[in-house]
Structure 1
Amino acid sequence: MAVSSSLGPTDGYLAIAVQEWGNEYYVITHDEGRSQVAITASEAMTSVLVTLPPGCVLVMDEVEVMAPEYVNVTLDQFEVLLLQADTDLTGTYIQADKPVGVVSGNRFIGGRTHLVEQPLPIKTWGRNYVSAPNSDSHWGPVDTYRIISSLYDTNILVGNRSYNIEVSGAWLDVNIGTLVKIVSDKPVMVMKFSSSSISGTPTCMAVLVPEEQWRSRYTFITPLAFNKHWVTIVAHTDKVQSIILDANPIQAQWSSVPGTNISVGVREVSEGSHYLDGSGNHAVYLSGAGNGLAAYCYPAGMGVDTINTKNLSTYKRKHTSAPDPRVSARALGTFGVVILISAVCILIAIDLPVLCHDVINLAPSKRPRMDRRIR
């Protein structure tokens, strides 16, 4: 895990091991403050293409770049590309020819707090999620869940409410204050934003763990300098009794997720390292609160299996065609059409005299037909 601090306000994230990094990401940030994305190469000579949201005003080396469509760079091993913008960078698409790590978040939210999280590689996204509300009064009663899809025409069910994401890289925000299951017919990534109950300012962001990436065993450590720490467990109801925390049956306050066989348990834990185990797979989240706006929330661990490579947009682009709204793409398409039409017209013009000659020769004769019958 990694904890980021900025003059009091804090946040953290579960750091993904370098060997589990991916080649393809979509980014989620908040729409307040300065958005930022950091991309780190795992190998030398890594080519990275970043496609940015329309209308983005990018800040690179403190210089504003107005509405760029993309950034294309080559990075050395462990070299970092930092992109910042005063607009929301959600939907930024990252492609690399070698594995890269990505961290995203925001600075100067409300002038005081910041957010940070490590987005999941697209290859690890799932279809089944469960909301994980924070339990303490430090946070407000409602969290904002941002859901992003890498594919076209994605249908999503949040509790009993239906949504549709029409294009890849698009997203939707859903405010949730209860336990609900989030189900999608195509892989998605879900990010939770939790806000202070006093100021309403977002104080932490956490990526949700898809059910496909739940695990049975977790070892985790809580960060220092916080007043309280909580662990939230999302598990199948029939496996709850088997879960142990630090070699003892877990004593948690459990609630059922309506319409499912899943329960969510919350309990306070002490500062330090802990071990959690069970007979079935489950998700585990950590959260904590300190003085003022100091807070953190992130997963305690997760699997990073490649669930289905055929759902990656790189695979889809190789086997299907899809519209590209970029101005450069439209210009190239128009130029290609003009070239094709011009080539056809030139060929017709070259062959036109020969064609006219052949047509004339094939035309029926106008001379009167001779009657060869013998009277």
Structure 2
Amino acid sequence: MVISAFSNTEVNISFPNGTSISKTLNWMDVYQEASRLNDLTGTMIQSSKPVSVVSGVSCMYIPEVPSAGNCDMIDEQMIPRSAFQKHFIIPPILSNKFMVRIFSSQSNNKVCVKDSSFENCTTMGSNQWLESTPNTFLLVVTSQKKASVIQYKESQAYMTTIPAIRQCMNPYTFVRQGVYGHHNNYISVTILSSASQSLLLDGISPSAQLADTAQVVPPFNNYTVLTFRITT
């Protein structure tokens, strides 16, 4: 889905199968492309003026072969290539399995995925992507050249863009959804271990809401990932 913020915006969409289309969008126009048979991962979108791009699936099983239950709708706003970075910490989702997809912006790019017991490195090409095996442990992704990382949770699936370490910020404002009142709400905070005691949530220490602590593996073992249950 491409959302235009300006009039007379020229948009070119190049698909992984080698085909492409061009559209002219005006202010607040939305163009949606869908495929029932083909994965559109790797689609390149270029525009003459700033646009927003949202990717997703209306009915998704993670993993692709369902074991039980219903499919889930997943979607996420994509970041532009100019925001790609090199170093990422992927938080665990309590005991739930997840996988990541890594997108390389340049050719001859060595990308390594690491947890406490293994490290797997591969050389990626420009606009190439790879997918990790399902995992429950914290991961570290390092990339010689700029890349982006998206995390996908299994069962009651969702997808989320992982910010790079260089994109970490001090203050955050977020909204807790209240549509499904019987669900628990959690946040994962990646923080320098030396600063973890100074963390505040709505002005007070959230230590009583701590659900999980994960130590990051080298070379970023000066970081910790804290998971909190949000109750208010």
Q: TM-score, structure 1 length as denominator?
A: 0.54
| Superposition pairs of residues 273-352 of structure 1, within 5 angstroms | none
Match 2:227 to one of 250, 259, 266: 266
Q: Match for residue 69 of structure 1?
A: 19
Per-residue deviation, 1:180 = 2.4
**C-alpha distance in 1 between matches for 2:142 and 2:60:** 31
Distance 1:109 1:240 in 2: 36
Secondary structure in structure 1 of the residue aligned to 2:171? strand
Letter in 2 for 1:238: S
Runs of 4+ in 1 over 4 A off after TM superposition: none
Is residue 30 of structure 2 the alignment partner of residue 80 of structure 1? yes
CA offset digits 1:285-318 (Å, max 9, x no partner): xxxxxxxxxxxxxxxxxxxxxxxxxxxxxxxxxx
Aligned length in residues? 211
* Percent identity between the two aligned chains: 24
Residue 191 (structure 2) aligns with: 235
1:103 pairs, out of 54, 73, 76, with 54
Match of 1:171 among 123, 126, 129: 129
State the AA in 2 paired with 1:144.
M
- Once residues 183 and 222 of structure 1 are traced to their aligned partners in structure 2, the CA distance between those partners, rounded to angstroms, is 31
38, 43, 49: which one aligns with 2:6: 43
Match for 1:45: what amino acid?
N
One-letter code aligned to 2:5? S
| SS of the residue 1:245 aligns to | coil
Q: What is the RMSD of the two structures over their aligned residues, measured on CA atoms?
A: 1.5
Instruction: Indicate the residue corresponding to 1:188 in structure 2.
Output: 147
Query: Cα offset for 1:163?
Result: 1.6
Aligned amino acid, residue 98 of structure 2: D
Distance 1:150 1:126 in 2: 10
Query: Residue 74 of structure 2 aligns with which residue?
Result: 115
What code does the residue aligned with 1:262 have? Y
Match of 2:110 in 1: 155
Shift of residue 71, structure 1, vs aligned partner: 0.8
Per-residue CA deviations over 1:98-139 (Å, capped at 9, x if unaligned) read 00000010012256321110011111111110011212x6xx
Determine the C-alpha separation between the residues in 2 that align with 1:132 and 1:258: 11
CA contact (8 A) 2:93 2:136 kept: no
Which amino acid letter does the alignment assign opposite residue 98 of structure 1? K
Provide the secondary structure at the position in 2 that maps to 1:239: helix
Secondary structure of the residue aligned to 1:240 is helix
Partners of 2:45 and 2:151 in 1: how far apart?
A: 21
Once residues 133 and 258 of structure 1 are traced to their aligned partners in structure 2, the CA distance between those partners, rounded to angstroms, is: 13
| Structure 1 residue 157: Cα displacement | 1.5
- Give the distance between the partners of 2:146 and 2:73, measured in 1 at CA: 28
- Structure with greater Cα Rg: 1
Counterpart Cα distance in 2 of 1:257 and 1:113: 30
Structure 1 distance, partners of 2:92, 2:175, is 20
Q: Once the 2 structures are TM-superposed, how far is the Cα of residue 261 of structure 1 from its aligned partner?
A: 1.0
1:145 to 87, 97, 100: 100
> Counterparts of 1:225 and 1:98 in 2: how far apart (Å)?
35
The SS at the match of 2:190 is: strand
- 1:134 maps to 93
| Amino acid in structure 2 at the alignment position of 1:264 | V
Match of 1:91 in 2: 42
1:64-84 CA distances to partner (integer Å, 9 max, x unpaired)?
Answer: xxxx71011111111111100
What is the CA-CA distance between 1:148 and the residue it aligns to? 0.6
